[in-house]
A and B are shown apart, each in its own frame.
Chain A
Amino acid sequence: MKLLQQSLRYNIIITVISLTVAGIFMYYLLKKEIIAEIREQLEYQAEEIHQSLERGHSVSYPLVEIEKVDNSIGAYSIFRDTLIYDPLQDKSEDYYYLLSVKKNNAGNYRIRVMTTYIGWNEYSSTIFTMLFFTALLLTLLNVMASYFFNKKIWSPFFYNLDKLKKFSVSSEEPISLQSSKVIEFKELQESLQDLADRSQKEYKALREFTENASHEMQTPLGIIQSKLDRMSQAELNEEIAGHIVQAKSGVERLKKLNKSLLLLAKLDNNAYPDKTEISLDTLLKRQLELLEELLAGNETAAIVNIAPVHIHANLFLTEVMLSNLLSNAIRYTAPGNNINIFLSGNKFRITNPGAPLDFPEDFLFQRFRKSPQNIQATGLGLSIVYRICQLNNWKVAYEYREGHHSFSIIF
């Protein structure tokens, strides 16, 4: 629930409670006042009648009963409620009466004076209506006020929130947040700005470090490689030759690893922004042509189902993606099996038979995750594929079904 809705809800609850309490108070206070007033009136009326009787006047008022009583009854006066049937309205009505016994010169009289609770029900309903409309008005004003706050006071907050949602540490753009007059918001904005700037800076430093480290390694690797090459030109005995071959294969792995790391660093660096129209089918066919002999060497055939597909992407990265997926499929296909390649519409799929993964499927696209059986692999090829797809907003999925590994990309 939104903060504004929350506070509005409490506001309404508080309004209703306080108005209800106020209404009840008002009701009882009014009632008390009115009863006091009625009593005063009835007492006054009874007193008037007593005085008239004393002066020997005959008294006849509506709603007044006068009765001469025995002298033994002492003076008293009580107030009571009663119901009197009104034939005109055909209903009983609430009445309040004073029964007063008092002795005067003319004798001992019992007088009953009555009055209706005039419009008592109307009073209470008036109170209720009034308070109800007050509550309604307050709620309406509250809603309008929060809408106004939403627009004015909260607008920098929502603006900044939106910016943060879109914020990426890998972006070159510094985040620009809106300031506010509200101290809490201002502090929040300043801390967020600082946090964002720092994380961007650190991320950039890390990226540059990876890239520089990879670059710096290239030259020494080149030296090692060329020296090993030179050594292998000499007449060597089998043992030394074996050592050199092993050293070379180590260098080879390091070279590949370094190259892949560099590519990943560059992908993070968004070093390949230029995109062109690419005929994916042509590109794929060219790659397959190149691989013809490698496939034949592995006694593997590619069963190809390709329709013309055009995409808008970086050519180099698309090539890397295809070659990584192809070489991955070739590597894990046992001789004598077929690789299925499908390209049509917005979908590319490559399927190859093989044993199930010997590690969790979730790790497949993670860096340096590889089958323990394939120590020669860098474990970066599929991470690169994943990253390229991510950069192009393509959907890449892996599936293992009926003994087949299948990678599909939706462009």
Chain B
Amino acid sequence: MNAFIIEDEELLQEEISAYLTERGFNCEAASTYEKAERNISLFDYDIVILDITLPGGNGIELLKKMKREKKDTGIVIISARDSLTDKLSGLDLGADDYITKPFYMEELNARINAILRRRSLGINDIIRIDDLEVDTNAKTVFHGKTEITLTKKEYELLLYFIINKNRVVSKQSILAHLWGDEYADSESIDTIYVHTMNLRKKLVSHTGIDYIKTVYGMGYKWVQG
């Protein structure tokens, strides 16, 4: 899976790059408009992570160019501009998603995964972990032949953990993912604990394996060999 990261802020670019590499992507990066433009016309990527404000040009122009050239690429816009009009114009022009800085890497990853799944680009609708089968289309989870009944939030939580496996996922990022930033209050953090515990119990009772580990103070980690 090839990812192209267009971001002028070197540190952030590095971080995204490192994270996606860890997730199994082949990453290339550009920090200027010219380099990004050249790479886009030369290579095909599965996913492009596009910053709008770039030295030497506007990311929106790159988006238009990709759409003109009919590139079959998933595009996520990352922008410091938290504006609805930017968001809508980005999505109208054919971007698949829009995420506002600052964001959690796990969230970016979840969005990328959702895009790739929607486009069925190499990622199957069914995710298999040992004997677990997660059908992202029907939103069901099976252990062998038995269905594990999960609430909507538990299912979303499970998917978030699996996509970000072997990585510590903070409670804040879970809260923001499940309920949005508006409700990401410190008071609500306990709710994450309750949901994670319920999910954990259900998984253990069916599979006998405790995939979700608590990382002291930090959050949770889906550990999988």
Measured CB to CB, the residues of A under 8 A from B are 215-216, 218-219, 221-227, 229-230, 232-233, 238, 241-242, 244-245, 248-249, 251-252, 255-256, 259, 262, 266, 271-272, 290-291, 293-294, 296-298, 316, 320, 323-324, 327, 330-331, 376
Contacts and interface: CB of A to CB of B under 8 A. Distances in A.
Nearest to A241: B217
Interface of B: 9, 11-12, 15-16, 18-19, 80-85, 100-106, 151, 153, 167-168, 170, 172, 179-188, 190-191, 194-195, 215-219
Given A245-B218, A293-B191, A323 B9 contact: no
Contacts of B84: 271-272, 316
B54 to A, nearest CB: 12
A375 B187 CA distance: 12
A60 B166 CA distance: 150
Given A223-B12, A226-B15, A262-B82, 6 more contacts: A222-B102, A244-B218, A255-B102, A256-B181, A331-B185, A376-B187
A298 B101 contact: no
Contacts of A251: 102
B9 A294 contact: no
Contacts of A298: 187-188, 191
A219 B81 CA distance: 10
B183 A297 contact: no
B80 A215 contact: yes
Contacts of B153: 293
Given A227-B11, A230-B15, A245 B217 contact: yes
Contacts of A293: 151, 153, 191, 195
A241 B187 contact: no
Contacts, number: 121
Contacts of A266: 83
A227 B168 CA distance: 13
B195 A248 contact: no
A330 B179 CA distance: 14
28 contacts: A216-B80, A218-B101, A219-B12, A222-B9, A225-B102, A225-B104, A226-B16, A229-B170, A230-B15, A230-B19, A238-B216, A238-B217, A241-B217, A245-B218, A249-B172, A252-B184, A262-B82, A266-B83, A271-B85, A293-B151, A294-B191, A296-B191, A297-B188, A297-B191, A298-B187, A330-B187, A330-B188, A376-B187
B113 to A, nearest CB: 17
Given A218-B100, A226-B105, A233-B168, A259 B181 contact: yes
A226 B81 CA distance: 18
Contacts of A291: 179, 183
A376 B105 contact: no
From A230, A238, A262, A293, residue with most partner B Cβ within 10 Å: A293
Nearest to B195: A293
Contact of A232 (B101, B170, B191): B170
Nearest to A320: B182
Contact of A229 (B11, B104, B151): B104
A330 B167 CA distance: 31
B218 A241 contact: yes
6 closest A-B pairs (Cβ-Cβ)?
A222-B102, A297-B191, A218-B80, A226-B15, A222-B101, A218-B101
Contacts of A297: 188, 190-191, 194
B194 to A, nearest CB: 6
Contacts of A248: 170, 172
Nearest to A328: B185
A213 B171 CA distance: 28
Contacts of A259: 82, 181
Contacts of B194: 297
Contacts of A316: 84
A233 B170 CA distance: 10
A251 B183 CA distance: 16
A319 to B, nearest CB: 9
Given A233-B167, A293-B153, A218 B82 contact: yes
B179 to A, nearest CB: 6
B11 A294 contact: no
Contacts of B182: 320, 323-324, 327
A226 B106 CA distance: 10
B167 A327 contact: no
Contact of B183 (A222, A233, A262, A327): A327
A249 B15 CA distance: 20
Nearest to B85: A271
Contacts of B16: 226
Nearest to A376: B186
A241 B181 contact: no
A294 B218 CA distance: 20
Nearest to B193: A297
Contacts of A224: 102
Residue among A216, A229, A230, A249 having the largest count of chain B Cβ atoms under 10 Å: A229
A218 B219 CA distance: 24
> In the complex, which of the residues A222, A272, A323, A327 has the most CB atoms of chain B within 10 Å of its own CB atom?
A222
Nearest to B221: A233
Contacts of B151: 293
